[in-house]
Amino acid sequence: MVLAANPRASLEGQHFHVVVIGGGINGVAVARECARAGKPTLLIEQKDFASGVTSRSTRIIHGGLRYLEHGELGLVRESLREREKLLREKSHLVHPMHFLLLLNESSQRSAMKVRTGLWLYQRMAGKSPSDATEMELKRLERALDAGHKWSFFNYEDAQCEFPERLVAEWLLEAVDAGAVVRNHTEALAVDVAHGRVHGVLLRDHLTGRDAHVDAAWVINCGGPWADRVCQRSSIRMGKPMLGGVRGSHIVIPRFPGSPNAAVYTEAVDGRPIFVLPWNDQVMVGTTEVADGGDPGKTAPSADEISYLVRSVARLFPKAKITAQSVKYSFAGVRPLPYSPGNRPSAVTRKHILHDHEDDGATRMISVLGGKLTTAASLARECARKIGLKSAEPDAFAMGPEPALDPLLDDAVLEIARIGSVSEESARGMLEWHGKRAADIARMALVSAELRAPICPHTSHVIAEVVEAYRREYAVTLGDVLLRRVPVALGACWSESCSREAALRIGAVLGWNELTMGANLETLEIERTAFLRPAPQDTAAFEAAAD
């Protein structure tokens, strides 16, 4: 572990009204909600904020068209409302996205059923989608397999390319409201005695020290680790709360004719998959494979990668997509409610707040499931469940001022002027930091080193990295380059970019060679464990495809 921040004070003996375990999108949203309700709140995360499933998702902020197929109208309504809120309040991070649902004559879904579903979806959203431009449709038609007759259906949803950044912003909002937040701090056990929780025993992995904090309430937002949190706390339940279902994605470079809209279609076996423009690349996903292993070690199997490659290659045969096209793949375990015997696709995507009173642990709640899209409404519900008055009603409320629109040329010019940086760098700052871009630009103005790009292939600058360490609770170089300023997810990032970035960052932060080497090593270990290359042995890989 590399220490980049000041050593942290021990939390030993401190009292909190709420201790939230797990700093994914749900945990951060719950901590923010409790702190806003005026309650002393502690959020602990064993690794880094947003390093769990939150960064392994397809990154769509959706009303949940697919939930209509399963009749979950309440969930669709909630998701649509939350989508609109995110589009308004975090417009620099959450963008409207045009979707094209593609069917051909051999599709398993009937065009009539899809048309009806979309009609209902639009009615519930209260707005009609704009049609894809004639030019976009022609481009796509040229790229698609000409051996099929394709039908196109338009609809609108949204994309959050970097939920890591959304989590970083909500984290700061939680801290501004008074929450104490600690990453690289693991809950070893929830302290349960005489049928109720009393606190949490935790370990700070930076200092190696253990501490006990008192808590009136414990909220387990451990995502796919939620059962493990209970097991290590000796909270006995008749059956597991979760049935883990792994979902994998591949990321490939853009190809001639690659769609500018998100494509929602059927994979080789008829399951729905997405082919999405993402981060100047193309993301293809996802799969559904039962996975009861350690969620921190989950990875796409060769079969899943092969399945996704075959599905996208079949759709776009002219692009000649093969295993070698895969830049990287990644996987996450969906924390779905335990439903033995049910097909993964049929398990509800609605979150559950499990009260552990009947398990002998009064005042402990486990949050199960959920979506990026509905994390804020889940947090409000959770706050109400523990008797707090939610700062915001569930009904659609106009939240704070909309964030700066990074597409506004005036804003870009203003940031470029403040920081004396290029327009491209200014746009990048606005896209990832919204209103806080101005503070970062002011920092950048101080020196040429702070204005320098993080590596030669990106316009994001060193000042953003310094901000991540200073204000956004980044501790390791991985925290910075994979989540706060996630340039390492980019199309051309490689080990040499990591090295160059470490040199530039180290020069500004005054790292010696030892610190630099250790930072670089932990970054590369984390990066390669997360972003997996496709199997090198393509013969074996192609065999798995048959």
Ligand X SMILES: Cc1cc2nc3c(=O)[nH]c(=O)nc-3n(C[C@H](O)[C@H](O)[C@H](O)COP(=O)(O)OP(=O)(O)OC[C@H]3O[C@@H](n4cnc5c(N)ncnc54)[C@H](O)[C@@H]3O)c2cc1C
Rule CB under 6 A: which residues touch ligand X? 21-27, 44-47, 51-54, 56-60, 186-187, 221-225, 229, 247, 286, 332, 334-335, 370-373
Shortest CB 512 distance to ligand X, Å:
30
d(CA 236, CA 360): 8
Whose CA is closest to 29, among 53, 56, 49, 57? 49
Shortest CB 157 distance to ligand X, Å:
9
Q: Given the complex with ligand X, which of 21 and 450 has the nearer CB atom? A: 21
Shortest CB 279 distance to ligand X, Å:
14
Query: Between the CA of residue 41 and those of 7, 20, 48, 217, what are the distances in Å?
Result: 21, 8, 18, 10
Coil vs helix vs strand at 518 = helix
Query: Between the CA of residue 375 and those of 5, 45, 57, 439, 454, what are the distances in Å?
Result: 29, 17, 14, 28, 32
Helix (H) or strand (E) run with residue 101 in it: strand 94-104
Q: Given the complex with ligand X, which of 351 and 504 has the nearer CB atom? A: 351
Q: Is 234 buried (19+), middle (13-18) or exposed (0-12) by CB count in 10 A?
A: exposed
Q: Given the complex with ligand X, which of 45 and 419 has the nearer CB atom? A: 45
> Residue 256: how many CB atoms within 10 A of its CB?
10
Shortest CB 326 distance to ligand X, Å:
16
Q: Which residue's CB atom is positioned nearest to ligand X?
A: 24
d(CA 152, CA 100): 6
Q: Given the complex with ligand X, which of 26 and 377 has the nearer CB atom? A: 26
Maximal CA-CA distance, the chain: 69
Q: What are phi and psi of 129, to 5 degrees?
A: -75, 150
d(CA 528, CA 546): 27
What is the DSSP-derived secondary structure letter of residue 409? H
Q: What are phi and psi of 330, to 5 degrees?
A: -150, 160
> Residue 396: how many CB atoms within 10 A of its CB?
12
Shortest CB 487 distance to ligand X, Å:
21
Q: Given the complex with ligand X, which of 23 and 506 has the nearer CB atom? A: 23
Q: Given the complex with ligand X, which of 27 and 419 has the nearer CB atom? A: 27
Shortest CB 201 distance to ligand X, Å:
10
Whose CA is closest to 372, among 65, 217, 136, 167? 167
Q: Given the complex with ligand X, which of 369 and 453 has the nearer CB atom? A: 369
Whose CA is closest to 413, among 402, 403, 424? 424
Q: Given the complex with ligand X, which of 5 and 508 has the nearer CB atom? A: 5
What is the DSSP-derived secondary structure letter of residue 128? P
Q: Given the complex with ligand X, which of 189 and 509 has the nearer CB atom? A: 189
Shortest CB 358 distance to ligand X, Å:
22
Q: Given the complex with ligand X, which of 150 and 170 has the nearer CB atom? A: 170
Shortest CB 444 distance to ligand X, Å:
30
Shortest CB 64 distance to ligand X, Å:
8
**SS3 letters across 72-97:** CHHHHHHHHHHHHHHHHHCCCCEEEE
Q: Given the complex with ligand X, which of 52 and 535 has the nearer CB atom? A: 52
Shortest CB 55 distance to ligand X, Å:
7
Query: Between the CA of residue 522 and those of 203, 475, 479, 482, 515, what are the distances in Å?
Result: 20, 11, 10, 12, 11
Shortest CB 8 distance to ligand X, Å:
15
Q: Given the complex with ligand X, which of 205 and 254 has the nearer CB atom? A: 205
Structure tokens, 489:
């997810």
Shortest CB 467 distance to ligand X, Å:
22
Computed over its alpha carbons, how large is the radius of gyration of the chain? 23
Helix (H) or strand (E) run with residue 136 in it: helix 134-143
d(CA 499, CA 492): 14
